[in-house]
Amino acid sequence: MKIGSNIGQIRTAQKIEKSFIAQELNISVEEYEAIESDERDITLSMLDAIARLLSLDVADLITLNKPVTGIRNFFFNHNGNSGINIHVQGIDQEKIRMAYKELYQEELNRIPRLEKLLRDNNIEFNF
């Protein structure tokens, strides 16, 4: 079974850099490339970590028939419904972070404008 080539196909389809996966796994890029080229044996815990980084189940990596693209959300709950991690594939995470920052800044700027509008129209408000 060639799990490494499956990992490589999925990573490429998701446009994720080898260096990102290697960094997250705390291994060198060369070691990661050896995994993708099936030159290095992979432990179950390493396979699980890679699957999580690619937002897949381990079974998806093993039984892959074609590259997976698009968005898939996986929720990993390890603390009695109080902790949730969402992994999104196929979208540049830095773009998502920037969009949230811009949205947050817009909301911060909106509050003073709303307060001014209320004052200008003699509408009472209490916060």
DSSP 26: T
DSSP character string of 87-117: E--SS-HHHHHHHHHHHHHHHHHHHHHHHHH
Encode burial over 46-81: b for 16+ CB neighbours within 10 A, e otherwise: ebebbbbbbbbeeeebeebeeebeeebebeeeeeee
- Residue scoring higher pLDDT (75 or 106): 106
Amino acid type, 118: L
Helices 29-36 and 18-25, interaxial angle, to 10°? 110
Q: What is the pTM of this model?
A: 0.52
Both tokens of 57, joined, read 């189940």
- The yes-or-no verdict on residue 122 having pLDDT over 70 is yes
The contacts of residue 77 (CB under 8 Å, 6+ apart) are: 83, 84
Residue 95's closest CA among 83, 103, 84?
A: 103
The contacts of residue 86 (CB under 8 Å, 6+ apart) are: 73, 74, 75
Amino acid type, 112: P
Q: What is the mean pLDDT of residues 75-85?
A: 45
- The yes-or-no verdict on residue 48 having pLDDT over 80 is yes
The pLDDT value recorded for residue 2 is 80
Both tokens of 66, joined, read 């074609």
- Residue scoring higher pLDDT (89 or 37): 37
The pLDDT value recorded for residue 27 is 94
